[in-house]
Structure 1
Amino acid sequence: MTPDTPTVHASAVALRLCGAWRGVLIRGASGAGKSDLALRLMDIGARLIGDDYVHLWTSSGRLYATAPARISGLIEVRGLGIRPVTPLKTASISLVIDLIDHAAERMPEPQGLKLCGVDVPLLQLDPRPASAASLVIRALEAL
């Protein structure tokens, strides 16, 4: 990492779809459910990149994420504490999830944002419903 590599308060996981790892950056306030959604995605095949904080950088017009060395391979499991997992060192971020504390719009217009100069699709999601992890996968498949 370089000194100008931003560190963001987020969790990141990657899912293997159509033979490629597709990263998801999960953003939200402390206690919003970032780690919980990451765990649910991991239960259905995702790999942890980083929990709570990740470094972002760009290469060839793509956004990438990795965990800071001191927390690599660790995830908070509410009620059980910090637990080790085998992480995926890095992945290209295909989707950003912003966690919200209310029901998302039923038929939202596609959204995006620019992170580190790269346009990335954005999905606002209430992480509490059981379907939240499935919605992330459907959103990735639609890209």
Structure 2
Amino acid sequence: MTPPRQPLHATVAAVRIDDAWRGVLIQGPSGAGKSDLALRLMQVGWRLVGDDWVDVFACAGALYAAAPATIAGRMEVRGLGVVSRPFLPSTRIALSLHLTHEPVERMPEAAQDVIDGVAVPRLVLDARPASAPLVVAAAINRAMRAAGRRGDSAL
């Protein structure tokens, strides 16, 4: 039986860590830079899962995301339009990223989102600085290490 899926206004990009793909769920209002950040991540080896809308679902205590079939492999690039990109059909989510244009705390407390009953580490980030992809990579690696210390097989 296929787990129920819920649509979510987000972009998902995934990176290969320890022989498994792990994704970041990039959320924010229109114009916040979701697709732009995903493009910059893809420039350094990440893979697109879905752009603008994804289906999320919980399975065996983990959160997953997949692109709806109608937009799989497509991404909106501001100023260019819709382009085709290589993509992964789905990935396990390791980080929930909230984009903002407001100042971000320098040393925030650890936070998490609960999505479809699954707790996922949360990061609030301004995606405009050139360092944003590096911050995302560091955050997903930290989330994976923390999950390993807890013995959390969900990540």
Match of 1:51 in 2: 51
C-alpha distance in 1 between matches for 2:42 and 2:4: 30
C-alpha distance in 1 between matches for 2:96 and 2:57: 14
C-alpha distance in 2 between matches for 1:90 and 1:19: 15
C-alpha distance in 2 between matches for 1:2 and 1:92: 15
Match of 2:146 in 1: none
Match of 1:106 in 2: 106
Q: Say how many residue pairs are matched.
A: 143
C-alpha distance in 1 between matches for 2:20 and 2:2: 26
C-alpha distance in 2 between matches for 1:63 and 1:18: 18
RMSD of aligned alpha carbons: 1.4
Q: Give the TM-score of the pair, scaled to structure 2.
A: 0.89
Specify the code of the residue in structure 1 equivalent to 2:49: I
How far the C-alpha of 1:103 sits from its partner, in A, is 2.6
Specify the code of the residue in structure 1 equivalent to 2:25: L
C-alpha distance in 1 between matches for 2:10 and 2:131: 21
How far the C-alpha of 1:2 sits from its partner, in A, is 6.1
Tell me whether 98-107 or 117-126 shows the greater mean CA deviation.
98-107
**Percentage of pairs with the same residue:** 51
Alignment of 1:108-127 (within 5 A): 108-127=108-127
How far the C-alpha of 1:18 sits from its partner, in A, is 2.2
Q: Match of 1:71, SS?
A: coil
Distance 1:3 1:117, change over 3 A: closer
In structure 2, stretches of 5+ residues that fail to align are 144-155
In structure 1, stretches of 5+ residues that fail to align are none
